[in-house]
A = this chain, B = another copy of it.
Amino acid sequence: MIKIGIAGYGNLGKGLVKAIGKNDDMEAVVIFTRRDPASLKTDDADIPVARLSDAKQWTDKIDVLVLCGGSATDLPEQGPDLAKLFDTVDSYDTHARIPEYFAAVDQSARDTGHLSLISSGWDPGLFSVMRVLFSSVLPDGQEHTFWGTGVSQGHSDAIRRIPGVIDARQYTVPVQEALEAARTRQNIELTTRQKHRRDCYVAAEEHADKKAIEQAIVSMPNYFADYDTTVTFISEKAMRENHSRLPHGGSVIRRGRTSKNSGQMMEFGLQLESNPEFTASVLAAYARAVYRLKKEGKTGAVSVFDIPVGALSAADSESLRKTML
């Protein structure tokens, strides 16, 4: 059994407990929290809860620690710190700062002989894998990434700040015509805006001026002004019942030429009913790979680009070749 530690128990940590439950060769051995462990209610009472500050007492009980904190403030500190104590996997997703984050984690992991995989999940993560695969196979081509249908937390929050709004949910929706153009046409320009529209569901106060709220949304610079945006007012009850989930998804599409007359199209798509549970499932598979590659002697920081797909699987190489090739 691969012994997994979980650092942080938000949506991602909760999803990871479920993901581990789906993999027969893994067990969750501890949940670390910055809160008082006694105050943390978990879905599975059998998994011990401990203070993150006591993590070093667990170094011989954990094979891989999965960091389930956020990229804004948690991971920049926890990633390099915890890579000194454990082999780790995280989902660091601040694209622009990945090089410096990688360098910091790499230093910690190398100094202490650990192996740390950064920026796993689906974007960054599986989408990144596909971008590299697709561009390697079709170097003469063009790539488009679409996101959705999925909830954007940032855009939902922006609507909630408008006076008179009680609650809001914003869905980013890929535009079908743009998807089709990406699949079938060479050399096209598609901006993020042309590729997506924004559907907003809003619960407003009883006597709120709905016209004014709608106007405030659709004209909001950066967030909505340049998109096709729809606003639908619903009750708080309908919000709870129909919009409490965190679906997401998207597509990476590359169209390229292998000769003057031969166009080729590669596509990877996800339709997720729960974004955090899926992300956690990706982290679980990469935790297995870290466990395997560490046993082979690999140390330092790595990314999804360094992982052979066979290392993600619970099956061994021979049976993979026999059954999956």
> Which A residues contact B (CB, under 8 angstroms)?
15, 18-19, 22-23, 95, 98-99, 102, 119, 124, 126, 128-129, 131-133, 135-140, 183, 249, 258-259, 261-274, 277-278, 280-282, 285, 288, 303-310, 312-314, 317-318, 320-322, 324-325
Residues of B within 8 A of A273 (CB): 261-264
Taking a contact as CB atoms under 8 Å apart, the answer to whether B265 and A271 are in contact is yes
Residues of B within 8 A of A267 (CB): 267-271
Q: Which residue of B lies closest to A133 (CB)?
A: B309
Min CB distance, A118 to chain B, in Å?
8
Taking a contact as CB atoms under 8 Å apart, the answer to whether B306 and A317 are in contact is yes
**A138 with B303, Cβ < 8 A, contacts A128-B324, A274-B264 known:** no
Residues of B within 8 A of A138 (CB): 281
Taken together as a complex, chains A and B put the C-alpha atoms of A312 and B128 apart, in Å, by: 13
Taken together as a complex, chains A and B put the C-alpha atoms of A306 and B129 apart, in Å, by: 15
**A135 with B262, Cβ < 8 A, contacts A99-B318, A322-B98 known:** no
Indicate which residue in B119, B280, B313 contacts A135 across the interface (CB closer than 8 Å).
B313
**A270 with B262, Cβ < 8 A, contacts A99-B318, A128-B325, A321-B98 known:** no
Q: Which residue of B lies closest to A267 (CB)?
A: B269
Taking a contact as CB atoms under 8 Å apart, the answer to whether A272 and B264 are in contact is yes
Q: Which residue, A136, A270, A322, has most C-beta atoms of chain B within 10 A?
A: A136
Min CB distance, A165 to chain B, in Å?
28
Taking a contact as CB atoms under 8 Å apart, the answer to whether A277 and B306 are in contact is no
Min CB distance, A127 to chain B, in Å?
9
Taking a contact as CB atoms under 8 Å apart, the answer to whether A312 and B132 are in contact is yes
- Closest CB pairs A-B (n = 7): A305-B310, A262-B274, A258-B277, A136-B312, A265-B271, A136-B285, A267-B269
Taking a contact as CB atoms under 8 Å apart, the answer to whether A99 and B321 are in contact is yes
Taking a contact as CB atoms under 8 Å apart, the answer to whether A281 and B305 are in contact is no
Min CB distance, A2 to chain B, in Å?
13
Q: Which residue of B lies closest to A272 (CB)?
A: B264
Indicate which residue in B264, B303, B320 contacts A278 across the interface (CB closer than 8 Å).
B264
Taking a contact as CB atoms under 8 Å apart, the answer to whether B19 and A136 are in contact is no
Taken together as a complex, chains A and B put the C-alpha atoms of A137 and B278 apart, in Å, by: 8
Residues of B within 8 A of A280 (CB): 258
Taking a contact as CB atoms under 8 Å apart, the answer to whether B306 and A139 are in contact is no
Taking a contact as CB atoms under 8 Å apart, the answer to whether B314 and A304 are in contact is no
